Each structure stands twice: as C-alpha cells, then as structure tokens.
Amino acid sequence: QQIAQSYACAAIGTFASRSLSTDTSGRLQGKVSIITGGASGIGREAALLFAREGSKIVVADLSEEGAAATAKEVQAMGGSAIAVKVDVAVEAEVAAVVAKAEDEYGAVHVMFNNAGIMMSSDDDAVNTSEEVIDKTLAVNVKGVLNGCKYSIPAMRRAGGGSIVNTASFVSFMGAATPQVAYTASKGAVLALTRELAVVHARENIRVNNLCPGPLRTELLMKFLDTEEKKHRRLVHVPMGRFGEAAEMAKGALFLASDDSSYMTGNNLLLDGGITAAYVTPE
C-alpha cells in the first residue's frame, strides 16, 4: 500500500509541476517544422508557438512579405526561422520548400499543411463556377497532398515525423449558407489524412487533422462582412464566440508533438461546441 501511495504522490507531483509551469516545455525541441499559410492566422500563431517550443521553423506562404514578417517575429524572440514563397497548389514549389528545409536545417520532422482558401463567390452546387471549384480544390486538397507527397520521404530520412492537415468543422457538417467547393475540399482532407495515416503508420509517421470551428481570422471575417452574417453563424456556436487562431495553434502543437504519440488518422475538433449542438443556449 505504501508503494502504491508513493507512486500516486510521484504521479501527482509530476502532473502538478507540469500544469503549473509557465516555462516553455520544449515539446518540439530540436525539431524542424514546415508551416504552410504561415503568414497569417493559424499558421502565423503556430509558427510563433512551435518556435517557443524549440522548433526551427520554415514559414511557407503565397505571400512572400507575410512569410518574411512571421519569420522575423520568430527571430525577434530568439528562435530560428526562414521564409519561403510557395503556391501549395504547384507541386514543384512544394518540393522546393521541403528541399530548402532539409538544406537549411538538415531534416523535416513536422509538416503543418495549413494553407487554405475560401472564395467569396463559393456558393451552392448550382451557382458555384467551375473556376471557383478548380481553384479551391487545387489549393485546399492538392496543396495538402503535395505537402504530404514531399514531406513523407523527408520524414523517412529523418526517422519519422508528424503531419498535421488543417481540415474544418465543415468536414462534418452541412450549412444552409453554402460554400460547397470549400466544404467538399475539407471533406477530402479528412479522407486523405485517414488513408495516409494507415499507409504510413509503421514508419513512425503520424497524420492527423486539425478541425477548427469558425474563427476570427481574415479568411472568415472577409467572408462574413456584415454583423448580420456574423450573427447567422454565432447563433449556432454553443460558446457564442468565434475561435482564435492562437487556440488552434495549441491544438496543432498537440498533434505535431509527441504529446499525441498514440494518435494517428484522427481529427481534433476545436470548434466551440458547434458539432455537438442541436439547440444552443439563448
């Protein structure tokens, strides 16, 4: 009984010291992370958080200026980061990002395929143009696949790694305010992640989805440009507010690090309760 008690105390001690600590805990110490869409929103917050946790960061974004600004922020806090311009929909450009990461930092351990778009003229099946469908699928689906295609061989060379793909709560739910190309693209991310996770499970490569709810980032706020449109969404969110990019970055960190070491092919929904709700509080 005494032994059991001392184990219990040790366990409580460990837990307490971890949960009370305000220090960075180095969850990604010595790792190299590529973050697409790193110029803004979730990607930018993830770059700052992953760097605080010890990772070297490759900030990859269509916006060269934005990527450089995030890399500068990481450097200003004493971290190491480089910025690379990429269109994730172009395979050769994604290949070049992974090559650059290996050249600069020697390996790739984390691939956060987070870049995504939602086009303002995205609508229902009848009213969405072919151009919007093609562009949305090219960035949101092919972009994620490109990231997996080139990071998986790099992770094999590194002895393993973690891929985090940004899907969405709309991978699970339909909405009467349609954006069908976007919704289809996020459903595809869910399915491709599951399959890649199974294929690479014995190679020490994990693949999971981060599924954000509606966020107060540029992507959604540009789309919901009136109070009425915002309200039409918020009424369905039990917590009654939009999520923050920084809250998503914490989920991405969990998936990227060994904290989620027994998790693969799965989805982390950070959505203010939206997918749990039938009726929301008044």
Question: Does residue 209 interact with ligand NAD by CB under 6 A?
Answer: no
Binder among 47, 117, 148, 158 for ligand NAD (CB under 6 A): 117
Amino acid sitting at position 255: L
Binder among 37, 79, 147, 251 for ligand NAD (CB under 6 A): 37
Nearer to ligand NAD, 55 or 166 (CB): 166
Q: Please enumerate in sequence order all residues whose Cβ is within 8 A of that of 30, keeping only pairs 6 or more positions apart, or say none.
A: 54
The number of residues that bind ligand NAD (CB under 6 A) is: 31
Q: Which stretch binds ligand NAD (CB under 6 A): 96-104, 114-122, 124-132, 253-261?
A: 114-122
Active site residue 182: yes
Q: Which stretch binds ligand NAD (CB under 6 A): 4-12, 55-63, 152-160, 224-232?
A: 55-63
Question: Does residue 122 interact with ligand NAD by CB under 6 A?
Answer: no
First to last CA, the chain: 51
| Residue 242 Cα distances to 221, 233, 235, 237, angstroms | 10, 9, 11, 8
**Binding pattern for the stretch 151-170 against ligand NAD, x by CB under 6 A and - elsewhere:** ---------------x-x--
Distance CA 83, CA 236 (A): 38
Q: Where does the chain have alpha helices with state H? A: 2-20, 41-52, 64-76, 91-105, 130-137, 143-158, 180-199, 218-223, 227-234, 245-256
> Residue written as tokens 């699928």?
137
Residue 84's H or E segment, with its range, is strand 81-85
Binder among 212, 234, 254, 255 for ligand NAD (CB under 6 A): 212
Question: Does residue 272 interact with ligand NAD by CB under 6 A?
Answer: no
Q: Tally the C-alpha atoms within 13 A of residue 96's C-alpha that lie toward its C-beta.
A: 13
The partner residues of 35 in beta bridges, in order of sequence, read 59, 112
Amino acid sitting at position 31: K
Nearer to ligand NAD, 27 or 85 (CB): 85
The partner residues of 161 in beta bridges, in order of sequence, read 205
Active-site entry in 7, 105, 182, 262: 182
Question: Does residue 87 interact with ligand NAD by CB under 6 A?
Answer: yes
Nearer to ligand NAD, 7 or 175 (CB): 175
Question: Does residue 41 interact with ligand NAD by CB under 6 A?
Answer: yes
Question: Does residue 251 interact with ligand NAD by CB under 6 A?
Answer: no
Distance CA 275, CA 167 (A): 14
Give the active site residues. Answer: 182
Residues that bind ligand NAD (CB under 6 A): 36-37, 39-43, 61-63, 66, 86-89, 114-117, 139, 143, 166, 168, 212, 214-215, 217-220, 245
